[in-house]
Amino acid sequence: MARVRAGEVVVNGVLCDNPEEDVDPSDLELTLDGVAWVYREKAYVLMHKPAGYECSHHPSHHPSVFSLLPPPLLQRDVQCVGRLDQDTTGLLLFSDDGQFIHRMISPKKGVAKVYRAVCADPMTDAMLDALRGGVQLNDEPAPVAALACEQLDDHTLRLTLAEGKYHQVKRMIGATGNRVERLHREMIGGFSLPEDLMPGNWRWLGPDDLMYLEQAWPSAMS
């Protein structure tokens, strides 16, 4: 409000210094510090997460991914839609829409997450079969299986999961006797990380993006 009174906010091209002024939210554009912001009822944001950042407002040992977002988004209290480990890179979502966050992270909704993992040792057929059939993880009552597992080269595989358990990819591959050296999330639902979005950068998601993001894994629709 203080910045509005100071005449630092432009509304649809017109300087506004009255914080009580009524404005129509349709096609509303605010300009602050030379940056134009189109009004959005809910925020849906994609980031290409770089390595070395924690998905927390209160990180322990590394910078927070929230430090890569501009203040107007932080003021909206956007939250991570699921989390990636500090050394994991790739597709990370943020939103202030609680229902959207729930739909994206709930295993019951069938929204798959696709990871590319580079392993320390060559993957064997037995390891791949174990990931597809189910591996036993500590503190899990039943074996956990991948929705899909594709070997890309001797050390690299693409793993598709329906859940987002703590360190799940690393623990699953560890249960086969191997170890993850690099991990990258490349797809959620039917939406792939854009090739032109560089690590540390973010952008808004549009209606078509959201439709692809919420696309269920085929087996979940049967």
Q: Is the pLDDT of residue 162 over 90?
A: no
Residues 89 and 184 in one domain: no
Q: Please report which confidence band the pLDDT of residue 96 belongs to, taking 50, 70 and 90 as the band edges.
A: very high
Residues 180 and 211 in one domain: no
Residues 101 and 48 in one domain: yes
Q: Is the pLDDT of residue 75 over 80?
A: yes
Residues 97 and 204 in one domain: yes
pTM for this model (two decimals): 0.84
Residues 59 and 28 in one domain: no
Q: For residues 31-57, give the mean pLDDT.
A: 83
Residues 56 and 90 in one domain: yes
Q: Please report which confidence band the pLDDT of residue 44 belongs to, taking 50, 70 and 90 as the band edges.
A: very high
> Can you tell me whether residue 168 is helix, strand or coil?
helix
Q: Is the pLDDT of residue 17 over 50?
A: yes
Element (H, E) at 207: helix 207-213
- Residue span of the structural domain in which 83 resides: 44-107+193-220
CATH of residue 75 = 3.30.70.580
On the 0-12 / 13-18 / 19+ scale of CB atoms within 10 A, 219 is exposed
pLDDT at 24: 52
Q: Is 208 a catalytic residue?
A: no
Backbone angles phi, psi at 85, to 5 degrees: -60, 160
Q: Please report which confidence band the pLDDT of residue 222 belongs to, taking 50, 70 and 90 as the band edges.
A: very low
Residues 184 and 209 in one domain: no
Residues 116 and 174 in one domain: yes
Domain count, the chain: 3
Helix 168-175 and helix 125-133: axis angle, to 10°? 130
Annotated active-site residue in 77, 85, 196, 209: 85
**Amino acid of residue 46:** L
CA gap 108, 150 in Å, rounded = 23
- Would you state the structure tokens that stand for residue 58, as one six-digit string? 């209160």
Residues 117 and 178 in one domain: yes
Residues 103 and 197 in one domain: yes
Residues 198 and 97 in one domain: yes
How confident is the prediction for the chain on average, in pLDDT? 86
Residues 80 and 143 in one domain: no
CA gap 104, 134 in Å, rounded = 23
What secondary structure does DSSP assign to 169-186, as a single string? HHHHHHHTT--EEEEEEE
Q: For residues 114-121, give the mean pLDDT.
A: 97
CATH of residue 133 = 3.30.70.1560
- Would you state the structure tokens that stand for residue 2, as one six-digit string? 């203080």
pLDDT at 34: 61
CA gap 103, 181 in Å, rounded = 30
Q: Is the pLDDT of residue 221 over 50?
A: no
